[in-house]
Structures are given as structure tokens and as C-alpha cells.
Amino acid sequence: MALRNWKMPTSTAENYLKAILILSGGADGVVATGAIAEALGVTPGTISTMVKSLSGQGFLEYRSREGVWLTTEGRKAALVVLRKHRLIETFLVQALKMDWSEVNQEAESLEHSISERVLSRIDDYLGHPEVDPHGDLIPRLNSLQFERSGGPTLATCATGKPLRVERILDQSPGFLTFIQNNGLKPGTKVRLRKRDEVGGVVECELPDRICVLGLTEARKVEVKVSR
């Protein structure tokens, strides 16, 4: 189901579709309008107007007091803009050497104006990366998949095994700076030394340091067993 020639709605509508896709977690379930309002920082009245508009255009289905869900067309449109966002973030970090905690806002602006031709050149230049700097999957043109299957975190993984940081689940600038300062960016090798449920902390061994995190922070760092 190719996405290459898809004609996108307005930039505001793109933001709505992308938010609904992310909030749905990739499933076909219903997303509450309140959750959309919170994610986008808009009022319920604004949500109602846009939802009715997108429903009329065939991008989503809406049921009063239940919420919304994307149609096949809506999912494709949302994937196009999400692909742009994540490729732009990757380009800004890898090619322009911008800090990974700063690129989200830049990508939010650029994703609405960049052409598929330019994006394709960026993809080629970067060597067709599979994930963005935060570890999120970059959607491909011939796929409807946009997210990895959820894995263990530093709060739930086994102790003593060699691990690799896969994804950072909280991508707020403050948390990304915290992760960078603690050396836990995606790709980093790590071993969980101990987990103290009573004290609410985990102790991790990295190649160059010992790192102690609270369980709240540890739940936001997804890992995978490394060979």
C-alpha cells in the first residue's frame, strides 16, 4: 500500500492525524478527544470542529462520547507526516549536528513544507535509517508500521545480562538532556547491576561509568538483550 503520491490535508489537520496515530499506539482502537486536546494543547471545542472536518474528508471515524479512530486513508496520511518528522529529526542530528533535545520543534515546522522529492534525497543521504535519534521506527513508503513492539525497560529487564538501549519513551527536552548526561542514548551498551524496589532506584553499568536512576526514569528507557 504505497504512500508516495498521497495528497496531504492542511498542516493543522496533519498535526491532528499524527497525534491520533501516536496516541492509538498503532492499533485500530478508539482515541478519546480529551487525549487529543491534551496532546495538541487545544480546547475541546477546537477538537470537535476539526474532528468533524476530518471525518467529512474520510480521514477518521467519530462516535460521540467514545472518540475517534483513523480510517485506512487517515492512517496513510498520518504515516506520511510521521515519516517526514522522524527523517527530518535524524537529518538534523546526524548531518547538522543539532542536539537531539532540540530537533522535535524544528521537525514540527519543516514536516509540513518539505517535498517527498527532498525527503527521498535526505533518506538516501542518511543511508535509509530504520530509526530516528530517539529510537523510534521511521515508517517506510510501502509499510503501515510506525512503531516497534514494546520491549522491557530498565525498570523491568533482567539483572546481569548485557543490554542495549533501544528507545527513549519520554522525548521532552529536559528528559533527553538527562538521558544524554547519564550516557544512556540509544545504541549504548548497559548492564543492570541491581534494582531496589523499596528505594525506588536502579543501578546500571555502562562502558565508562556507573549510573543510578530512579524507577520512574528507568521505565522510560527501553532496552534489548545484546549479544
Q: Are residues 46 and 107 in the same domain?
A: yes
Q: What pLDDT is stored for residue 24 in this prediction?
A: 86
The CATH number given to whatever domain includes residue 208 is 2.30.30.90
pLDDT greater at residue 4 or residue 153: 153
Say if 115 falls within a structural domain: yes
For residue 147 the three cell numbers come to 512503531
Say if 20 falls within a structural domain: yes
Whether the pLDDT of residue 144 is over 70: the answer is: no
What are the contacts of 90-95 at 24+ separation with CB within 8 A? 90/126, 90/129, 90/132, 90/133, 90/138, 91/122, 91/125, 91/126, 93/133, 94/126, 94/133, 95/125, 95/126
Q: Are residues 65 and 171 in the same domain?
A: no
The domain containing residue 20 runs over which residues?
1-147
Best CA proximity match to 23, nearest among 47, 5, 3, 45? 47
For residues 96 and 88, give the distance between their C-alpha atoms in angstroms, rounded to a whole number.
11
Which tens digits make up the pLDDT trace of 98-124? 999 999 999 999 999 999 999 999 999
Say if 155 falls within a structural domain: no
For residues 188 and 54, give the distance between their C-alpha atoms in angstroms, rounded to a whole number.
41
201-206 sheet: strands from edge to edge: 209-214, 201-206, 189-196, 162-168, 221-225
Total structural domains in the chain? 2
Say if 105 falls within a structural domain: yes
Q: Is the pTM for the entire model greater than 0.85?
A: yes
Mean pLDDT over 53-70 rounds to 89
Say if 51 falls within a structural domain: yes
Mean pLDDT over 11-19 rounds to 92
Whether the pLDDT of residue 141 is over 70: the answer is: yes
Q: What pLDDT is stored for residue 27 in this prediction?
A: 64
Q: Are residues 86 and 198 in the same domain?
A: no
Q: What are phi and psi of 206, to 5 degrees?
A: -105, 170
Q: Which helix (H) or strand (E) holds 214?
A: strand 209-214
> Which among 42-46, 71-75, 143-147 has the top mean pLDDT?
71-75
Q: Which of 52-56, 128-132, 166-170 is least confident? A: 52-56
Q: Are residues 75 and 178 in the same domain?
A: no
How does residue 63 score in pLDDT terms, banded at 50, 70 and 90? confident
Q: Are residues 123 and 183 in the same domain?
A: no
In this structure, the strands spanning 67-70 and 209-214 are: unpaired
How does residue 18 score in pLDDT terms, banded at 50, 70 and 90? very high
Q: What pLDDT is stored for residue 159 in this prediction?
A: 93
The residue out of 112, 147, 182 marking a domain boundary is 147
**What is the percentage of the chain residues whose pLDDT exceeds 90?**
71
Say if 177 falls within a structural domain: yes
Whether the pLDDT of residue 183 is over 60: the answer is: yes
Whether the pLDDT of residue 149 is over 50: the answer is: yes
